[in-house]
Structure 1
Amino acid sequence: MNAGASQPVIRATLEDVARTAGVSLATVDRVVNRREGVRAKTVARVEAAVAKLGYRADVAAARLARGQTFRFAFVLPTGSNSFMTNLTEQVQRTADWLAGQRGFIDILRVDVFDPDVLAAALENLSPAYQGVAVIALDHPRVRAAIDELTARGVAVVTLVSDAPSSRRLHYVGIDNPAAGRTAATLMGRFLTGRKGTVAVIAGSLSLRDHTERQFGFHQILSSEYPNLHALPVIEGRDDSERTRELTAALLARQPDLRGIYCCGAGNRGIADALEASGRAREVVWIAHELTQYTRRFLVRGTLDAIINQDPGHEARSAARVLLAHCSGEPISPDQERIRIDIFLRDNLP
C-alpha cells in the first residue's frame, strides 16, 4: 500500500480498553456503564484507557443486544399546508434512519387548530409509545394532556409550535419572536420613506409560533418604523381559500396598504389576491417557509422575502432528542438549535 493511502478507521472495542487498562472485560463494562463495585484507582485506569483509545459505546448495538426498541408518535396537522407536507416527508425520511437505531416512528394526523381534538389525540395515545413529537397549541387542555403523558413517563417534544409552560421535555423550532422581529426589519427597510398600513395574517393566534412572530413583528415595527401602522391581526387558519378571501377584502378596503406579513401559511391565497388586485408589485409581502409555492412567488416577484426554518433539521432533531432521552444519552444543544434562514430571490438554494 502506498504511504499516502488512507487507512481504514478501526473503532476501539471494550476488549481493547480492557487490554490497555489491564483489567477484565467485566470490570470495563461496570465502569463504562457507571455501575458500583469498582475501586477508584481501577476506575481511573479504565477511564484513562477509554480516553487514550477514543472509545465510544455503540449504543445501537447495545440496544440490539438487549432486544430494546423505542416507538415514537409524531402528531402532525391535517390539511394541505405545504410546509407541513414537507415536514411530514422529512419525518418519513427520518424514520428510515431511526429504524437503524432501533427506533420506530408512527405519524398521526390531527387537526392541531382544535385544542379539544389535539388534546384528545394525546390523551388517547397508545401506551406503546415511549415518546411523542407534537405540533402544539398553547392551550390549557393541550398543556394538561402533555403533562399527563410526562407523568406516565412518556417523553414529549414540541415541534415547530411550543407549549412552554407544559412539562414537555424539549422544544424543536426556531426562535419565533426573533423571526417576527426579522420580518419587521425587512419590511421597514423595504418600505423606507413610505407611509401607510401593514397587514399581519396568522393561521391562528392559538398557535404560539404565530403569536410570538406577530408579537416580535409589532415590537420592531412600532418602535423603529413609526411611518408604518400595523393593522389588527387576521386569522386565516392556514387555509389558502379563506386567506385569499381575507386578503382580497383587505386590499379592497385599504388603499394605503403598503405591506403584508404572513406569519403562518395560506400563501397561495395571498398570491392569488395580490395578483388579481394588480397591486402585487406595489405591496411588499414577507412570508414564512420555503416551499414549492413560495419559491415560485419569490422568483416572479410577487413575494419579497421568506423567513425559513429547515423541516429536515427539525424532524431529525426531534427524533434525536427523543432517542437520546429514552437511551439516557446527552444531547448537543448546538446540534439541536434550529436556525432562522432568510431567502430573497437572489440567494435561493
Structure 2
Amino acid sequence: MSNTHLEPAELIQAAENLVPLLREKAREAEIARKPLDEVIDAIREARLFSLMVPKCYGGHEADLDTFFEVSLTLSRADASMGWLVSFYLEHAFWFCGFPEEFQKEVFANQSYVLAPATLNIGGGKAKEVDGGYRVSGRWQWGTGIIHADWVLVGAMVASEDGSMAPLFFAMPREEVDAIDTWHVAGMCSTGSYDIEVNDVFVPKSRTVSMFDLTNATSASQIHNGPLYRTPLIPILGFASALSMLGAAQGALEEYQSQTKAKIAANQARAGGTIKDEGKPSVVAEAALTIDAAELILRDVLRDVMEQRDAASPETRGSWITRMAHAIFMCRRAVQDIVSVTGASGSRLESPIQRALRDISTGSNHVLFDREARYADYGRTLLDQPIQSMMV
C-alpha cells in the first residue's frame, strides 16, 4: 500500500466513490448482521481508514472537517456503515494517545488500525502485575470487532494509595473473544458483538490513562498537528451524530426520488394532472429540520476546531448537548417522513424504513442521554457546574 498521503478533497472524493457500493449492499449487510468483507475491502482499498493517522506512520493526518465530510457522505448511503467507518477512524485516533513505542508497533506494517473501543470502564477489571496488568471482563457494543486488528477496553485499576484510576488497554484481536449478541432493531450491519477478555496480560506500554486519552494530553505530547490537541469525546460525538444526520438525509433523498417517480407516473396516466403525493408540507418541515440539524453540527465543528483542548468542561458539555439536540431533530424528521411514505415505507427492504430503524437505535448512544445532556446544559446556562464526566 502506498504511503503517499491523500489531500482532504481526495479523501472526500474517495468516500463519494464508495456511495453506490454501500447503497447496493446495505440490505444484504443488515440481513447478515455484520459488515460485509467486500465493503470493508473496498474502504481499505480507498485508503480511508488512514484518515486520522499521523503522516509519520503513513497516514493522511486529515483534520476534523475532512472527517466530518467523509463520515457524512458514507452515512447518507448507509448509516450503519457510516457509523462503523466513523468509529474505526476515531478509534485510530485513540491509538495516538498511547505510548509512542506502542504506536510504532501498531503502525509498523500498515498505515491504519481497525479496532473496537469501549468507554465502559465498568465492564471489566484489571490487576497490576510485574510489567503490566492482567485484564478480564466483558464489554458490550464492540463496534468494529468483526474485522479488528486490535481491541481497546477500559477498566478501573487500584493505585498504590488505594485510589482507583481508569485505564485503557490495547490487546491483539486474537487474544479476545467476540460473542455474537447482536440481535437488534437497527444498526444491524455494524456487527457490534460483545467483547470478552479472560485473564489477558497487557504490557504497560499498551496502556494509557483515560483522562490523558480523553483530554488529548498524551497525544499532543507526541504529535504536533492540531488534530491531536482535540479532546476525544467531541470526536466520538461527531462519529455518532454524523451517522444519524446521514440517515436522515438519506431518507429524505429516497423519499424525494420515490415520490417524484410516482408523480411522473400519475402525470403520464392522468394527462398532466399532478396527484398530491405524500403531504408536501410535512416533508418540507422535515427537510428544514434536517437542514437546521446540519447547521448545528457544522457550528459545533467550527467551535471545536477553534478551541480544541483549550475549551472548558462547560463548553465541551455544550458541544455534546448541541450534537444530541441535532440528532433528536433528525430522528423526529425521519419519523415524519415515514408517516407520509405510505404502506411501502413499512417494508424491511425500504431504505427509508432502514433509516428509521438505524436512527432509532443509534440515537440511544449513551453519549446522547437526553435528560442528562439537557440538564447539564441548563446548569451551564445558570452558571452551575456540570455533572457529566463524558465531555
TM range (shorter): under 0.3
The structure, 1 or 2, with the larger RCO (C-alpha pairs under 8 Å, 6+ apart) is 2
Query: Which structure has the larger Rg over C-alpha atoms?
Result: 1
- In proportion to residue count, which structure has more helix? 2
